[in-house]
Amino acid sequence: MAQTPVKVTVTGAAGQIGYALLFRIASGQLLGADVPVTLSLLEIPQAVKAAEGTAMELDDCAFPLLRGIEVTDDPNTAFNGVNVALLVGARPRSKGMERGDLLQANGGIFGPQGKAINDNAADDVRVLVVGNPANTNALIAQQNAPDVPAERFTAMTRLDHNRALSQLAAKLQVPVAEIKKMTIWGNHSATQYPDLFHAEVGGKVAAELVDETWLRDTFIPTVAKRGAAIIEARGASSAASAANAAIDHVFDWVNGTDWTSAAIPSDGSYGVPEGLISSFPVASRGGRWEIVQGLEIDAFSREKIDATVAELEEERSAVRELGLI
């Protein structure tokens, strides 16, 4: 029997990440090489024409797995029956904009999108928020979707995870595939904590294979500030690598993995207050993320985790005060 296509909705579809992401979804890399998909491209009215242009190009690829494309500026249409929602479109910080203004502007996007997901999505919907500030935008969407299980709302720290793998592989001159158990904790921001005390290379603890100064003064800031370094070098923010990380996140969520990093709602593990959407070491089993349990947290890591979690708490308080959640 022919398989029913999975509906994948991408917001901000006419943006840079959208352009790097849509073709890979349509080619089968998001869900698997045997899973047909339909795509819904959500944009603001001014960018619908550009998204239609991307849809024309998608048509022109004649992807065997792509069973339909819609382009719309209506969230209720875009999320109608959606199985996988990739929330990429967001309001970037502009010059002179205060953090409260940024959160308010994004509340105006992620609140209504959360509600539209609540009212229209398929029962098995999975949501990945990429648009910044990703963790708190995910919280806003989740809190506006009370009928959807809270655990279905996640935010992307997989790009940070991949950056950490790549930096460590280069330092140790080993292939990326030899590194296991990498973890990003906390917020997708400069406070994030890339943890080498649980990462392993050839069965050895990564933190013991590098000197402490490099770990503290080079590795952590390089990973945490890589987004800014890309903007500085490219004159535009990470797009292909962000799209790649979104593909990795959803593929592993659906198909399973023993260990990666994802920002998911906290159940209180590792002292992270319940409900915060924070990055953890996670496994995916049976289509659900689980926080890896039982890790010893040393004093250095505790301080770093507490700092990034404190930032998430501040963001949650700010959006509460603004009445966004």
Ligand X SMILES: NC(=O)C1=CN([C@@H]2O[C@H](COP(=O)(O)OP(=O)(O)OC[C@H]3O[C@@H](n4cnc5c(N)ncnc54)[C@H](O)[C@@H]3O)[C@@H](O)[C@H]2O)C=CC1
Ligand Y SMILES: O=C([O-])CC(=O)C(=O)O
Residue 230 interface partner, choices ligand Y, ligand X, none, CB cut-off 5-8 Å depending on type: ligand Y
262 marked ligand binding residue: no
| Between 107 and 121, CB nearer to ligand Y | 107
Smallest distance, Å, CB 237 to ligand Y? 4
To the query of whether residue 188 is one of the catalytic residues in this protein, the response is yes
241 Cβ contact partners less than 8 Å away, ≥ 6 residues apart? 159, 162, 163, 230
12 marked ligand binding residue: yes
76 marked ligand binding residue: no
Among 238, 244, 260, 261, binds ligand Y (CB under 6 A): 238
Footprint of ligand X on 93-122 (CB under 6 A): 109
Asked if 110 contacts 144 with a C-beta cutoff of 8 angstroms, the reply is: yes
User: What's the token pair of residue 69?
Assistant: 């494309």
113 marked ligand binding residue: yes
Q: Look-up: residue for tokens 């992807």?
A: 63
| Between 15 and 227, CB nearer to ligand Y | 227
| Between 118 and 237, CB nearer to ligand Y | 237
Residue 17 binds to ligand Y (criterion: CB under 6 A) = no
- Interacting stretch for ligand Y, rule CB under 6 A, among 48-56, 230-238, 251-259, 290-298? 230-238
Asked if 309 contacts 275 with a C-beta cutoff of 8 angstroms, the reply is: no
Q: Look-up: residue for tokens 């289509």?
A: 287
261 Cβ contact partners less than 8 Å away, ≥ 6 residues apart? 157, 158, 160, 161, 182, 183, 184, 279, 280, 281, 282
Question: Strands (DSSP E) along the chain, which ranges?
Answer: 6-11, 37-42, 66-72, 84-87, 126-129, 153-155, 179-180, 183-185, 193-195, 200-201, 204-205, 257-265, 277-285, 288-291
By rule CB under 6 A, what count of residues binds ligand X?
27
The residue type at 317: S
Residue 89 interface partner, choices ligand X, ligand Y, none, CB cut-off 5-8 Å depending on type: ligand X
- Catalytic residue (one of 161, 188, 198, 249): 188
Q: Which residues bind ligand X (CB under 6 A)?
A: 11-12, 14-18, 42-44, 47, 88-90, 92, 109, 130-132, 134, 156, 159, 188, 237-239, 242
What are the catalytic residues? Answer: 188
Q: Which residues bind ligand Y (CB under 6 A)?
A: 132, 159, 227, 230, 237-238
